[in-house]
Amino acid sequence: MASVDYTLTEFNKVKISSVIDANSGFRQIMLHPESSGLTTFITPFGRFKFKSLPFGISSAPEVCQKRIRECLKGLNRVVGLMDEFVVYGETEQKHYERLYQVLQRL
């Protein structure tokens, strides 16, 4: 993934960009069944556990960012941070090609 300085320099050349918001990014990451048990909580209605990564877990941001990096690996002119992606290009054609690549991976 490119450095912040490099990315900001690249934005000077941008003609068109898109922002994709992966709604509730943490909750789209499924937990391993063994890890799911660690999220058990008790209510007056019974015991429950999360099947997906909940907000509030200390490692959740790191896990989410790692998945984003893996998903975007090898793509140029794409920045991912938590549950948002910025796709940009010097021309409309290049932008749409990159946007299509990102959507295929999601």
Torsion of the alpha carbons at 74, 77, 83 and 71, rounded to the nearest 10: -10
- The share of the chain scoring above pLDDT 90, in percent, equals 18
Asked whether 18 and 84 are in contact (CB, 8 A), the reply is no
CATH homologous superfamily, domain 4-29+57-105: Reverse transcriptase/Diguanylate cyclase domain (3.30.70.270)
**Average pLDDT value for the chain:** 84
> What Å distances lie between residue 2 and 12, 55, 72, 80, 87, CA to CA?
15, 27, 11, 10, 13
The 84-89 sheet, strands edge to edge: 16-21, 84-89, 78-81
Mean pLDDT, range 19-25, rounded to an integer: 80
Q: Would you list the domain boundaries of the chain?
A: 4-29+57-105
Least confident of 3-7, 26-30, 65-69: 3-7
